[in-house]
């Protein structure tokens, strides 16, 4: 079958590979629309390594092509998405309901082949039916929406609260979208004007228009939570240094460099630090799908660019600039809009 093969940093070639083997518990899917994620970008540019050649991609929407012998809850041709992180279900963390940080977790496009290919395989437990009320672009953006909604849930923010979002990449924008739908006021911070325009269109107030430093602005606006979505050490330090007394700081970004903070301030002023890693199986995905199906959320509003399958490399390069919103790759023609 045809696949986009990562053969080295910034090297993608279209090639032929064997069709995946279908185990009794698996579903074979023909991808229709696949989103590009920061994880894909890090592999593409060589910041993280995989055994070459490798198939990237995990934000998958497609149709069922075949079913394993033990799978009886789907039918061929059915529209589905994949929850692409598979916790083991048996370790102490999974037993405690913390599968998001399972040490044995298998992830599509990370430690098993991804879905930039004609067919992809996923365990049936992590495949979700998509109703006809959900468009292909919305369906393909549910996975990052679940990431943002999990972070929002971790914060404890509620209707009437005001929160700050540092970084208006896809996770930050989708968090703003979900928060606005819940009646939570958001203040958006970013250096890229087009990202701030998207944040404004999703309901956010723009921090730079206030003309104040973050600490003063957040104090005046009674910010209850600061979401760090930019993924840099500098924004982590800003969040922890400027968060108002009694606020929560939720870390969704993934900076690899150290960040400094003053523990005494956090303790004396009651600043709580929470981390948010992907989502909890299965509740977060179920909730995200439901809110898209009933029209409450339209995650494809953050999609800015769409590329054909043959242009995966171009799509990844654009995503790496950080100047676009969500980028989709159409794996075949005639998407359901």
For CA atoms 216, 221, 225, 227, give the dihedral sign.
negative
Domain regions of the chain by residue span: 2-129+298-330, 148-275
Q: Is the pLDDT of residue 170 over 70?
A: yes
Contact residues for 306 (Cβ-Cβ < 8 A; gap 6+) = 327, 328, 329, 330
Task: Decide if 53 contacts 6 (C-beta within 8 A).
Answer: yes
pTM for this prediction: 0.96
For helices 193-201 and 170-181, angle between their N-to-C axes, nearest 10 degrees: 20
Fold of the domain built from segment(s) 148-275: Rossmann fold (3.40.50)
Q: What is the pLDDT of residues 6-45, one digit of tens each?
A: 999 999 999 999 999 899 999 999 999 999 999 999 999 9
Q: Which helix (H) or strand (E) holds 127?
A: strand 127-129
Out of 3.40.190.10, 3.40.50.1370, 3.90.180.10, 3.40.50.300, the CATH code matching 2-129+298-330 is 3.90.180.10
Residue 335 has pLDDT above 90, yes or no: no
Q: For residue range 88-104, list pLDDT tens digits in order.
A: 999 999 999 999 999 99
Given CA atoms 81, 85, 91, 95 in this order, what sign does their dihedral have? negative
Which token pair is 264?
Answer: 């005494």
What separation in angstroms does the CA of 112 have from each of 42, 51, 53, 99, 106?
A: 16, 10, 12, 18, 7
Nearest to 105 by CA among 80, 129, 123, 79: 123
**Is residue 336 scored above 80 in pLDDT?**
no
d(CA 175, CA 228): 11
Q: For a pLDDT cut of 90, what percent of the chain falls above it?
A: 98
Question: What is the mean pLDDT of the segment spanning 175-185?
Answer: 98
């Amino acid at each position: 079958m045809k696949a986009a093969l990562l053969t080295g940093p910034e090297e993608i070639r279209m090639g032929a590979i064997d069709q995946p083997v279908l185990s009794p518990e698996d579903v074979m899917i023909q991808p229709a629309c696949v989103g590009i994620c920061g994880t894909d970008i890090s592999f593409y540019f060589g910041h993280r390594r995989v055994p070459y050649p490798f198939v990237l991609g995990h934000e998958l929407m497609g149709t069922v092509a075949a079913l394993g012998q033990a799978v009886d809850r789907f039918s061929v041709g059915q529209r589905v998405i994949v929850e692409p992180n598979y916790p083991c279900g048996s370790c102490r963390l999974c037993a405690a309901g913390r599968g998001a940080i399972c040490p044995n977790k298998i992830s599509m496009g990370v430690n098993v082949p991804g879905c930039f290919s004609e067919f992809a395989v996923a365990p049936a437990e992590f495949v979700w039916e998509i109703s006809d009320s959900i468009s292909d672009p919305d369906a393909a953006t549910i996975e990052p929406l679940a990431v943002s909604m999990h972070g929002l849930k971790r914060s404890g923010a509620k209707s009437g609260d005001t929160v700050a979002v540092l970084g208006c990449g896809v996770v930050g924008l989708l968090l703003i979208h979900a928060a606005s739908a819940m009646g939570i006021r958001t203040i958006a911070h970013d250096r890229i004007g087009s990202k701030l325009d998207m944040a404004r269109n999703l309901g956010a107030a723009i921090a730079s228009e206030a003309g104040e430093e973050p600490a003063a602005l957040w104090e005046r606006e009674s910010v209850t939570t600061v979401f760090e979505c930019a993924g840099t050490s500098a924004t982590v330090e800003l969040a922890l240094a400027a968060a108002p007394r009694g606020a929560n700081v939720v870390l969704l970004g993934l900076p690899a460099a150290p960040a400094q903070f003053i523990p005494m301030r956090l303790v004396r002023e009651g600043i709580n630090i929470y981390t948010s890693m992907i989502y909890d199986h299965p509740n977060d995905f179920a909730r995200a799908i439901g809110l898209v199906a009933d029209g409450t959320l339209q995650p494809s509003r953050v999609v800015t660019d769409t590329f054909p399958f043959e242009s995966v490399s171009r799509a990844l390069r654009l995503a790496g600039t950080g100047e676009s919103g969500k980028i989709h790759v159409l794996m075949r023609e005639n998407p359901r809009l």
